[in-house]
Amino acid sequence: MSALISPPAPSGAVGRLLRSRLAAALATPHTVDRYLERFNPMWAAHEVRARIVSVHRETAGQDTAPVATLTLQPTSTWRGHRAGQHVLVGVELPGSAKRLTRAFSISSAASAPGEQITLTIRAHDEGQVSSYLVREAQPGTILHLSQAQGEFTLVESPATPTNNHLLFITGGSGITPAMSMVRTLLRDGYDGRAGRKVTFLHFARSPEDQIFAEELAGIAAADNDVTVHLRHGDQVFSEFELRRLVPDHRNTDTWLCGPAGLVDLVRDAYTDGEGELSPRLRMEFFKPAVARTAQPGETVEGEVSFTRSGKSAAATGASLLEQAEELGLKPEFGCRMGICFSCTRTKTAGTVRNVLTGEESSLPDEEIRICVTSAAGDCHIDL
């Protein structure tokens, strides 16, 4: 069954019926979606899935990672998004059939329920999901989505009765949520005549690596009171320059999204003499702390953090279950030999080793059996 010619997801009366308590009771112990998905991946009563409509190459990425914009048609269950929000995207990688889930910002303007959205993604070298989506994904591919989430959103709109100056500071692919905000403002009729300025300051590695270059040039050239400052290569962020562009930046609503280095510099610029960070600065970054992996045979170095309980200890090579118990935690367990899955927990970040197979893994948000898993570097366990 081709997803391209499939009928639209059931909505209206059919949708209401499928979401009813009667339908849920008839489908028990499974959910209605577990039946619908067998017949058409774009039919859903509760979950959100999306079909890739088109893939547009943004940068060629000769020296750096390529970037592409994916246009997605979500199922009718999509509730829409506010500018600046992100979605979790689940992808079944060909060859392994494993579904991996990652967060990506939405780059298109705020959407209404069921409306198309775009994701603009950079193919990171180690990122299996981003590489697949940028390099291999084809129109027609079905992705699993979450509803939009995140509070890094635009509160202003052309209709908002304020004359706040808005400032966006972004680096690399951190431009996407800010782009969604600017696109939303312009689409909804923002023209600068209300006396509100928008300043967009963006850092890219090189002019070739600049995403949305043409559109940004268009926005900058138009008479709309949006000023765009693009900085490339060695032109790193400086407080001096920021003060020149936006003298009262600490009292300006600012959205910051970019790599760790940029975030650190901007944070310093928004911290006053007494060490107080300006409440006007909003930040977003997705990348979890990168953990170092122990080489085979090397003694494990790293810290095991049980994030829910707030306890941590140096990795000893013992199983994570034993390490948790040594710290006085009482996680659920069963067989203690990896067969019963009672002790399954989520590793949110870091590197672990399966003691049965010796296999190491650094995937974020991975389910692991803590009785047969040990730390192979820093790691965070949801326990």
Partner 1 sequence: MTATVTEHDEKYHGLTAEQIEKLGEELDAIRQRVIADLGETDAAYLRKVVTTQRKLEIAGRALFYLPVVGWVPAVACLSVSKILDNMEIGHNVMHGQYDFLGDPAFNSRMFDWDTVCPGEQWKYSHNYIHHTFTNIVGKDRDVGYGILRMDPEQKWHPYYLGNPLYAFLLMTFFEWGVALHDLEVENIVSGKRKLADNKPLYPGLMRKIRKQALKDYVLFPALTGPLFPLTFAGNAVANLVRNVWAFNIIFCGHFPAGVASFSEEETENETRGHWYLRQMLGSANIKGSKLMHVMSGNLSHQIEHHLFPDLPARRYPEIAGEVQEICERYGLPYNTGRLSQQLFSVFRKIVRYSFPGGTAKVSPVRGPGSVTEDSLAA
Closest CA to 90 of 35, 39, 15, 141: 141
Residue 135 near partner 1 by CB under 8 A:
no
Q: Give me the residues paired with residue 204 across strands.
A: 232
Least distance CB 333 / partner 1 (angstroms): 9
**Backbone phi and psi for residue 278, each to the nearest 5 degrees, phi listed first:** -60, 130
Residue 95 near partner 1 by CB under 8 A:
yes
Residue 1 near partner 1 by CB under 8 A:
no
> Residue 96 or 163: which CB sits closer to partner 1?
96
Residue 331 near partner 1 by CB under 8 A:
no
Of residues 332-361, which lie at the interface with partner 1 (CB under 8 A)? 334-335, 337-342, 344, 356-357
Residue 21 near partner 1 by CB under 8 A:
no
Is 68 in contact with 42 (CB distance < 8 Å)?
no
> Residue 110 or 383: which CB sits closer to partner 1?
383
What does the DSSP assignment read for 156-193? --TT-S----EEEEEEGGGHHHHHHHHHHHHHTT--ST
Distance CA 307, CA 311 (A): 7
> Which of 35, 103, 290, 322 forms a contact with partner 1 (CB under 8 A)?
35
The secondary element (H helix, E strand) that includes residue 240 is helix 239-245
Size of the site for partner 1 (CB under 8 A): 32
Residue 14 near partner 1 by CB under 8 A:
no
Instruction: Please give the structure tokens belonging to residue 66.
Output: 């390529």
Residue 138 near partner 1 by CB under 8 A:
no
Is 103 in contact with 88 (CB distance < 8 Å)?
yes
Residue 99 near partner 1 by CB under 8 A:
yes
Residue 34 near partner 1 by CB under 8 A:
yes
> Residue 218 or 334: which CB sits closer to partner 1?
334
Is 291 in contact with 349 (CB distance < 8 Å)?
yes
Interface residue list for partner 1 (CB under 8 A) = 22, 25-26, 28-30, 34-35, 37-38, 90, 92, 94-101, 334-335, 337-342, 344, 356-357, 367
